[in-house]
Structure 1
């Protein structure tokens, strides 16, 4: 079986490599010639654990190829996936579908025969119908079936999520075209069917809403537990125990109930905003989603204020060590990371910043104030610091002996914004220790 994947970004590259691992011939297409050249040379443009080996193995076996020639890639493909960006549209918060529609029309013009055009990108409800209208107008002579196959890949765990997913969602049209699309996609996902992965076959609109609703619900859980953490601090309760107490309820679940500095990344911020805008446009406002967005935005600002308050109300002239910059561990993704709000506010308040992140510093440099000093490691970031702030819970930070951190610092204030450290151990090491939602 041969497919084409349009877009060599995070979703396209991971999905293409994983399909190739299934034994499918995958042509990965991107308009960025430098990205394609890097992939051909064995250089991976993003950090994702295990992806470099997966790409190298399948490229060596000839199942995964890279090209800028869309027409070449589409020729002979049974299915073509659209995995292009859907960034937030300037001015109104809706998803910008420019790249999706342009790619769909290019595929239609390049097609040599009937094929299945599958939207992998996260798109608002109604996009599939508009894609169908556009490709039919571009190639009325061809039967191009349109389908929706949203991705549910967590950065840092994407390969496992693809190979062992909770479910596969396949949204197709009605009638013969939909039946043909469903048959092709089920054949493509046969290795997952064999391990009894649930397959949700539905209509285009339903599949599109499933993706947004899933992300919005998870984001809402994060904002919920962050507000509960604030209440715990006022009441003298422990948010860890609260999270465990409610998460053991099977109706609620334990995941995404970790209090912290707010969510970020490539999905939740833009997808919640686009979902809220869709609800407003259709006259069915999603008020819980709108509140989730507002809570998360204010959360990041509050974290900077929390650092300043811990320093007695001023960070003027103080050196602050930062552990972690990316929005989560096991990725170099800086998109909407809390650090992008926190660091500029601290710099503007007069602080000197020494930052370290295992993977994100090259991405962070052009996004953060020029005054930030990038350290060689965690202990270097703590060297001479009056205050140490943990922003991202990388595993290597968890294992640092408190005494080693204390020995490197000039001061003894530590703000753990991810609740990584044990409070008694940090106090025993001489720290004035602040965490989230714990006494």
Structure 2
């Protein structure tokens, strides 16, 4: 469910007509619903009722300060994967003891930053990283709380580019070597083992891969406790999918996911951490764009929009589907026609959809890409010297620009011309 609905023939974000935002801000722009962000976070939080837990929002999905602060005020922790994300979380008021640091390539500078600023734990992904963190922590006279990310070799049945739990993926250490790696960690004075971390991928649309992974984590927890390790925290990652194509069946609900966690891991008495990103932010955001031209082609028509692949890369990168709808509600029973929906960037890959059935549209009409709140604005670029598009947050009848569109002058002034030119 989201809070983007037609009222009186116009698509709204909560109580705000999207066409009014377009008139004030210009297109294209991203828009997020506070009510949807809030609802989706609470669904996860409530799904783990009865267990000690922390829901850590995966900031890589959408990392605007306003989004982070909205979720932090609801009690969310943050899952960060860079020093920049850590700094963003702290700037939004998130305390260090609610920040988890993930990622395969943490630098010593990032480790030092988090240790000095406060951190809940590092999810360590290799022996080499473990040795570096031990060195940095000892140099600061501290002990770094860690989990080790184990790779359970489970197929999440998702897109190959967002699978993370198979043996050929770069993430974590093979679960078969976990006991040896934990023994190594126990001998490092700068580290404090607190738990286990596992994350098998993103946009997962069935529960069975989670069950297989979590059963392996349960067995490992008992084995590590037998070895003398104090395993009291389990970081289970995120990855639960969303229904990008609404005509398809919906992925599992957070309450079903929470029940699975209780069934497979509840007997261990561990604190549970989960790291949802896409399901919190995905359906909480739209990308709104304007039709520049309608172009007749050979055997097909094109809708040329003012949004492009640099604004929303997912279709070009993942062949991803986004429902695309007009801001003006189509009349019931109106005949639809097939369009290739494209952007203005000089790449054939700048294509959002092929042969997409849409109501007839004309130059100047506004459309919205649904489910664009996750991995949309955060993955955008200024390719073709196209400005990053504004981000807007709606709260009931109010809206505010939470990232402004830069001017061409602002973009160009970031460049420096050497003195010899």
Normalising to structure 1: TM-score of the pair? Answer: 0.31
User: Which structure shows the higher helix fraction?
Assistant: 1
TM-score of the superposed pair, with normalisation by structure 2: 0.32
Give the structure with the higher percent strand: 2
